Structure 1
Amino acid sequence: MFGAFERMVAWRYLRARKGERFVSVTAAFSLAGIALGVAALIIVMAVMNGFRQDLVGRIIGLNGHLTVQPEKGRALPDHAALAAKLRGLPGVEQASPTVEGQVLLTGESGGAGGGLVRGIAPEDLRARAVIARGIRRGSLGDFGGEDTVVVGIRLAGRMGLRLGDRLTLVLPQARGADFSVAPKQRGFRVVAMFEIGMPEYDSRQVFIPLQAAQEFFGLGEAVSQVELLVADPTQVAPVTVAVRAALAGQPLRIADWQGANSSIYAAVVVERNVMFLILTLIVVVAAFNIISSLTMLVKDKGRDIAILRTMGAGSGAILRIFLLCGATVGCGGTLIGFALGLGIATNFDVLRAWLLALEGTPFFRPELLFLTQLPAVVEPREVATVLAMGLGLSLLATLYPSWRAARIDPAQALRHG
């Protein structure tokens, strides 16, 4: 497409020579602007993806991606057959019968407070990745039997609990078959403490074995709900449709995490899209800089263009020369920004550790420390979109100045040059 003559002339125009440095400096700033814009877009989108992934994991890591509950009442009797049926559906990785309820917690040191108790089978709790990797003290291997409990580390700190201490659960109104309203209490031994970085969970969540929870809440063999974990939480909608179809006609209520946390999820999606739009404007501004620098280059080289035309260069050759000048700046800046952004995003953990060590002091409050551990998730489709957008804007920015250069009248340019 570009001949040797056109490449040579374009390169000579881009080089800074005495008396022409302003145009070259402007072109250099245009290249830097589009490079920084593309790099910032790739880095910020990767961090936003990491934030969304981490937030989704924290929100639904304890609650399950899907819940199946009785439509009326609080007991789900035939949960074993129901869980087995749900495990066979495509996309479902885990189906865990659970018991959930609010209780009063009291510790050996006299601390007391409210908490949310969740009864779950020990093997199902160990399979919850967000809990398994969040254990700070003790071991999930000790969770089992009838009198063990796993608590949030902030709850343990507030109540002065240590490993091996007894935590008493008090149910203000026992709900057994005898309809007794006498308070019911039971002691459990603390075997592990977890921290997932979300205060609402770390400060009030308590896990006890499923059988102990059934006895404590007077449910017999029934459970409160069946929680499902799916392979891809962001694609929970098709699984929800499959679950509804499999359980059609049964008096059950089915809810997924996106519906239960719709406001939070919508806010994250909107913020991500707004950030993409704002950072795209940086690339657009850089593309306008290419237009201005190329326009100044055309004006500065008006006499040279006229001489080239009189020597036999056609308007198409002039058009291609300035297209090549603009494309070198724009596409070169886009590729530099692509390499820079991808390099930083893929090595974000190393860079973050270096910055934290350089700072020396934490710049987040303790309850927000999880923000310093956010991953950067690079999605190839997004990177390809940013790269295509940068290249497209760069090429579009060169069209008008190049067209103006090709339309210069040699006689007028020499007469007024």
Structure 2
Amino acid sequence: VMLSAGGGVKGVVLRGIDPATAPTVLSMLTELRSGQAKDLEREGTPGIIVGDELARRLGLFVGSRANLLSPAGQKGAAGYSPRIRPFEVVGIFKTGMFEYDSSLAFVSLEAARDVLGLPPGFLSGIEITVRDLFRADETAIRLAEALGAPFYVRTWMDMNANLFAALKLEKIGMFILLAMVVLIGSFSIVTSLVMLVMEKTRDIAVMMSMGATRGMIRRIFMLQGCIIGLVGTLLGYGFGLGLGWLLKRYRFIKLPENVYTLDHLPISITLSDVLIVGASAMLLCFLATLYPARQAARLEPAEALRYE
């Protein structure tokens, strides 16, 4: 439909909801920046809830008057004319997603039916919420089996499949990039251990002449490299998780709303990702110790002490 106000005209996606039950499903209606969802059903002019960006663009605030124009026209003597109904803004929401905040509006079921010219009692769909949002597809399968044709079920995963496919690809790319950074960092461990082997040549030779085996020497340098990697990984954990927590709490990195779907950089810290990153870093650090440790174990005591 079209929403017109003193600030201009804007096309919006109109949703008719039950003000009593919708807030239990749509979290945006429980955290309105101003107004209340229950005010949609009111005496006189029906109420409407709009997004923050839409309200800013049209100059709307709680108490403002606006008109909804529906393409479902009324036939008159001069032909078809669009349905026009007045509404009063009773609430403004902000989700942080530009697409929703700039083009979504809520009215009561009765008001939506009136604007769109639908019969009384008509419903185009029912929306439900689940306890575990990542298992919504399982619930959808059970609902589809229970309802049967002609009903169909769509989850938030289905409706945003393209977005999540792009995010998955970006996640794989970021993991490869991070692994390359860690790999470059592991080269410094190789350099440090090679220099250490060169500096401790005499000490290694003395230890081997006193009975230390090549396996012992190899394990010493491998252990030292792993300790360096462990300290670096723990420091990285502390800095990375601390920065991630601050970003998640204070959202001080803002994104252009007209370019991205979100107005801030989203942060999601999951245990599996943290463990995979740490394990990958330690594995690369361990591999970096193999060459220096092997070179130290191959040292011949007689050759090392010849010129001492």
TM-score, normalisation: structure 1: 0.64
Equivalent of residue 312 in structure 1, options 208, 211, 236: 211
Q: 1:245 maps to what in 2?
A: 145
Q: Report the Cα distance in structure 2 between the residues aligned to 1:303 and 1:110, rounded to whole angstroms.
A: 83
Q: Give deviations 1:297-356, integer Å, cap 9, x for gaps.
A: 212322322222222222233223222322221222222222332333334456755xx7
Q: Distance in 1 between matches of 2:216 and 2:135?
A: 52
Are 1:321 and 2:192 matched, yes or no?
no
Aligned-partner Cα distance in 1 for 2:86–2:144: 39
Matches within 5 A, 1:292-371: 292-349=191-248, 364-365=255-256, 367=258
Q: 2:277 corresponds to which residue?
A: 386
Helix, strand or coil: the match of 1:377?
A: coil
1:366, 1:110 → 2: CA distance? 20
Distance 1:270 1:175 in 2: 49
Within 5 A, what are the aligned runs for 1:251-270?
Answer: 251-270=150-169
The separation in 1 between residues aligned to 2:16 and 2:260, in whole angstroms, is: 29
SS of the residue corresponding to residue 393 of structure 1 reads helix
Deviation for aligned residue 1:211: 2.0
1:37 is matched with which residue?
A: none
Q: Secondary structure at the match of 1:196?
A: coil
Counterparts of 2:81 and 2:247 in 1: how far apart (Å)? 56
SS in 1 for 2:34: strand
Please state how far the C-alpha of 1:264 moved relative to its aligned partner. Answer: 1.2
Give the TM-score normalised by structure 2. 0.85
- Deviation at residue 404 of structure 1 after TM alignment: 2.1
Rounded Cα–Cα distance in structure 2 between residues aligned with 1:282 and 1:288: 10
CA shift, 1:189, in A, is 1.7
| Gap change, CA 1:370 and 1:265, over 3 Å in 2 | closer
Is structure 2 residue 46 aligned with structure 1 residue 155? no
Q: Secondary structure at the match of 1:230?
A: coil
Higher RCO (CA-CA < 8 Å; seq separation 6+):
1
The answer for the alignment partner of 1:395 in structure 2 is: 286
- Unmatched segments (≥5 aa) in structure 2: none
Change (3 A) 1:343 1:201: closer
What fraction of aligned residue pairs are identical, expressed as a percent? 36
301-310 or 369-378, which moves further after superposition? Answer: 369-378
Partner in structure 2 of residue 106 of structure 1: 4
Select 1:224's aligned residue among 124, 127, 133: 124
Cα gap change, 1:385 to 1:113, in 2 (>3 Å):
closer
Shift of 1:397: 2.0
- Look up the equivalent residue of 1:238 and give its one-letter code: E
SS at match of 1:238: helix
Aligned AA (2:123): V
Shift in alpha-carbon separation, 1:366–1:351, aligned structure 2, 3 A: closer
1:271 counterpart letter in structure 2: E
Give the secondary-structure state (helix, strand or coil) at the position aligned to 2:267. Answer: coil
- Shift in alpha-carbon separation, 1:351–1:302, aligned structure 2, 3 A: farther
Corresponding position of 1:415: 306
Give 3-state SS (helix, strand or coil) of 1:269's partner: helix
1:115 positional shift: 2.2
Equivalent-residue separation in structure 2 for 1:186 and 1:371 (angstroms): 32
Could you say which residue in structure 1 is the equivalent of 2:185? Answer: 286
Unpaired segments ≥5 residues, structure 1: 1-102, 357-362
Find the counterpart in structure 1 of residue 268 from structure 2: 377
What's 1:49 paired with? Answer: none
Residue 205 (structure 1) shift: 1.7
Please tell me whether the aligned partners of residues 23 and 37 of structure 2 are also in contact (alpha carbons under 8 angstroms): yes
* Paired residues for 1:24-35 under 5 Å: none
Which whole-Å deviations, capped at 9, do the CAs of 1:164-211 have from their partners, x for residues lacking one?
Answer: 2322222233489xxx94432222221112222333322232211012
Q: Give the CA RMSD over aligned residues.
A: 2.8
Q: What's the counterpart of residue 169 of structure 1?
A: 68
**Conserved 8 A contact 2:2-2:69:** yes
Aligned equivalent of 1:130, options 28, 46, 53: 28
* Structure 1 residues 38-69: Cα deviation after superposition (integer angstroms, max 9, x where no partner): xxxxxxxxxxxxxxxxxxxxxxxxxxxxxxxx
Q: CA distance change for structure 1 residues 352 and 117 in 2, over 3 Å: closer, same or farther?
A: closer
The structure with the largest helix share of the pair is 1
Q: 1:61-95 CA distances to partner (integer Å, 9 max, x unpaired)?
A: xxxxxxxxxxxxxxxxxxxxxxxxxxxxxxxxxxx
CA distance in 1, matches of 2:150, 2:70: 28
